[in-house]
Every structure is written in structure tokens, then in C-alpha cells.
Structure 1
């Protein structure tokens, strides 16, 4: 059985491989022990599906992902709809992921999901899709389309496979991806604020507070809302934003700065139950966000 550290296989995927790995143990050991045997040089056009599959697994263990992918492709083409073809499809997605061929990995995983929606390895296919998009998330200054796609894949795992072993890591990566989207909103909001386009800035900061309440960007968003509302003369909204900020992040420098800003007009943070900010504040996680 392949060890977990080699690649991110789950219990379902390990069970998928177990029979093939055990049955081929002697053959694989012989191939790996004999330095004169090159498993990449075998004729894949004439090999049976099980032989190709076991050779591909050996290639993976040897770090030869390109050759493994070639053999998985051969199984798919020469032995379509066989059990080995099913296994090869999801493993080919993994091999492409490891090579950084993210589009190929995503396409293979999506095809697997389409053909085998109820397989024990469908959650793993979603996980590979999520990982492939996750690895392509750019800096916050760039378009965050891949972050949205990663969120969709990881959310699918969490919602459809709550008992899956991929849920914990999916939740971690989901938080990061959502933080990226919130960060993009903050970048645009600051752009508008610097140009005194305050209404547009409010819309962006409000999106962060309402749509991404459990991200690290909320703290600054509340402070920026305090500043923008104050600049617009909407002092009650500015006070409400500062109050929510102080309630959730009492030791924050952003709160200290917001408090000082209000004091310049003799004001202080004050809750406003009729404000959207106060309502949104009830959903925040505050300083518990690490």
C-alpha cells in the first residue's frame, strides 16, 4: 500500500489501490530491485490493463509522474470502462497535479466525477480539482477567478462528503481562498477611498463584512467603514462601525485609530441597532480568527 506521504490519497483511494498493490508486490519489488530493468521502456501498446496499472503505480513511487501518466492514458484508451480504467482516471488526475499540469488534472477529475458520481473516490476527485485551482491562486492584486473555483470544489467536498478525510484540509484551504476574495475587495475599496469615491468604497468594504465575515480582512474593513462614513458626514454609521470593531477586536490598532478619529469630533463608538453594520457584526468571529 502506498504511504500517505507520497501523495494525498484518502481511505477510499487507498482501498482502490490496495488490491492492485498487494497483487503486484512481488513484481514491483523485482522491478525496483533490478537496476537493469527500466519500467518506463516497456511497450505500453501490448501490455494488459493490470500490468500497465501496476507499472504506473511503480512509476509514481519512483517519482516518474510523466511516465505514470502515459500509462494511465494508455489504460483509458486501450481498456475503456474497465475497472482499471476507472482507477487510472483518478490516478492520472493526481499524476498531472503533481507535475503542475493543473488543467489536465482538473479535466481528468471532472471526467471521473461525470462517469462515476457515486464512487468511493469521487470526493478525492473533487479534492484534486480544489487543489489544482488552489495552487493557481494569484496575488490579491490579480483576478481571483481561480480562488472562486477552488472555493466551489472544496465546498462541494464539505457539503456532500462531510465524513470525508479531505474535509479538514478543504476547510483550511477554503478559508484562505475566501480571504483572498475579501482581500481583493479591500484592495478595490482602498482604491476608491483614496480617490474620495466614498459610496463605491463603502460597497466594497460592506461586501467584506457581510460576505466574508470570517476572514482576516474584516478588521480593516470595519476601520475603513468608520473612516469613510466619517468623511461622508454619516457619523452614526461611523460610530456603529467603530462599535462593532471594538466589540470584536478590542485590542486592535485599527480600533484604537478609529476611536481617535471619532474623538476629533467629540464622538465615541456607539451601537446602532437599526444599522446593517450592527446586524452584520453579530456574525463576526472577532479576535478568534488566527
Structure 2
């Protein structure tokens, strides 16, 4: 009987030690979890949060910089640091290849602070977002002509740069915006000609003439207007409209004497240049 009691006591003691051990592990895990959930920036001033964010930006640590700026904006929604936070968040999102987030941040900034001194920069950044999307990096290797890409982003970029030029002619960002806007005009016009040529080669001659006419009327001075006029001449000929064909030829010969397209046709010679690298 005594032996049985001794064994029971030992079993109870072992169970007690296991329970205590499990309890200790639970407490340690709980403490660790609590520590990991503690925000290291709790209690920081707006100035300190912004300083830390700028430091992370300098190191290219976009994720940490974004966290500090978002915390700053949430805790101190009023004042110059909150305003600057939005400007920097837009830049970070652009650099971190998050164009949609960058665009949303810019729109929010311009809605909240329409007369902010940094508006010219935000317009410039808005133009840059769609001027050099992440996919443009690959064009340096693929040699894809930017005018062959979806023109929506090109048009958005042009509109932003054009608004900057119109509203802030003396801005430090305007000279570069003018260069980019001029390139975009030519590129958008080239896109229209690509589409017109696509229609022509598939026998949609009316659609081809409409697209080519848009280039001639809306993009005056664009070099690609030469090809647009040649396409119009060919399309009118296919439509059996000799008067319109001759009118297009007359305008082509007047503006581009001895046009190269008479000899080479529509197919352009291959080229290794890539205008995206001009900037």
C-alpha cells in the first residue's frame, strides 16, 4: 500500500512538473508575442518620424520609409510634415514600381492641397509615372518602339506634363517637361500611324484614312505626318476615290518633296535606336 502511494506521488509530481513547464513556455511565448507587437516608433514626434523616413529613403529602403511616412500621416495629419509625407510617399511608390499607388497618392495630395508650393513637382511626378512604367525598362533590351505600346499611359503622361507647362511655366521642372512632352507628341502620333497601317493592311481603308487624317490635323509638324499622308493616298486609291487620293498626294509632295515612302513603301527599315533612352 505504501509502495502504491509512493508511485502515485511520483506520477503526480511528474505531471505537475510538465504542467509548470508548459505554463512557463506559454508565458514566454506570450511575452515574446507582446514584445514583437510593440511599435518601436510609438511616441515619436512628427519630426523624428520624418527624419527616420528620409534616412530610409536615402538607403533605398522603400518599405521602411513608407511605414514611417504612413505612421506620420496617421498620427500627425495636420502640418507641414503631413503634407511633405504625401509628396515623399508618391515618390517612394514610383521608385518602388507601384505606379497605381503613386498615382492615387498624387491625386489625394492635389485634392487636399490644391495650392501647395509642391504642386509643380507632383505634376512632374505624375507625368513621369506613366512616361517610364516598369515595363519600359525591358524596352532597352527588346528594342520595342514606345509608340507601339498602349497609348493610354503616353497620353496621361503628356496631359500631366502639359498641365505643368501651362500652370507653372517658370518651374524648375518645366524645361525637362517640355522635352518630354515634345517627344510624347511625336510618339502618340506614331502610334496613330501604326494603327492606321494595321487597318490598311487588313483592308479596312476607311478606318485607315480616319486614323491617318487625325495625325495630319491634330499633330501638325510631327515627322510621322509624312507616312500618314502616304497612307491616306494609298487608302483613297483602294477606295477608288481619285480626287481625295490626288489631294493627299499633293499635300505629301508639297510638305515632303521626294518622299522616301514612294521608294521604300510602308515597311520601315529595322533600327537599334530606342528613344526612351534619350532621357
TM-score (norm 2): 0.70
Give the structure 1 partner of residue 98 of structure 2: 101
- Displacement of 1:121 in angstroms is 0.4
DSSP 3-state at the match of 2:169: coil
CA-based RMSD of the aligned residues comes to: 2.3
The separation in 1 between residues aligned to 2:202 and 2:61, in whole angstroms, is 53
Higher relative contact order (CA 8 A, sep 6+): 2
Structure 2: 5+ residue stretches without partners = 1-38, 137-145, 266-279
DSSP 3-state at the match of 1:44: coil
Give the structure 2 partner of residue 76 of structure 1: 73
Range that drifts further, 148-157 or 134-143: 134-143
The separation in 1 between residues aligned to 2:152 and 2:122, in whole angstroms, is 20
Range that drifts further, 106-115 or 139-148: 139-148
The separation in 2 between residues aligned to 1:257 and 1:87, in whole angstroms, is 55
- Displacement of 1:257 in angstroms is 6.2
Does residue 203 of the first structure (1) align with residue 210 of the second (2)? Answer: yes
- Displacement of 1:143 in angstroms is 3.4
CA deviation profile, 1:99-153 (whole Å, cap 9, x unmatched): 1111111111111111111111011111111111222387545532222221221
DSSP 3-state at the match of 1:63: coil
Does residue 126 of the first structure (1) align with residue 123 of the second (2)? Answer: yes
Give the structure 2 partner of residue 228 of structure 1: 235
The separation in 2 between residues aligned to 1:150 and 1:94, in whole angstroms, is 16
CA deviation profile, 1:57-107 (whole Å, cap 9, x unmatched): 222222222222221111111100121111111011111111111111111
- Displacement of 1:214 in angstroms is 3.6
Which structure 2 residues correspond to residues 1-290 of structure 1 after superposition, within 5 A? 43-136=40-133, 140-250=147-257, 252-254=259-261
The separation in 2 between residues aligned to 1:61 and 1:251, in whole angstroms, is 55
DSSP 3-state at the match of 2:237: helix
CA deviation profile, 1:168-220 (whole Å, cap 9, x unmatched): 22222223333343233223222221233322211111111112224342121
Structure 1: 5+ residue stretches without partners = 1-41, 259-290
Give the structure 1 partner of residue 31 of structure 2: none
Over 6 Å off, 4+ runs: none
DSSP 3-state at the match of 1:224: helix
The separation in 1 between residues aligned to 2:109 and 2:154, in whole angstroms, is 22
The separation in 1 between residues aligned to 2:41 and 2:99, in whole angstroms, is 25
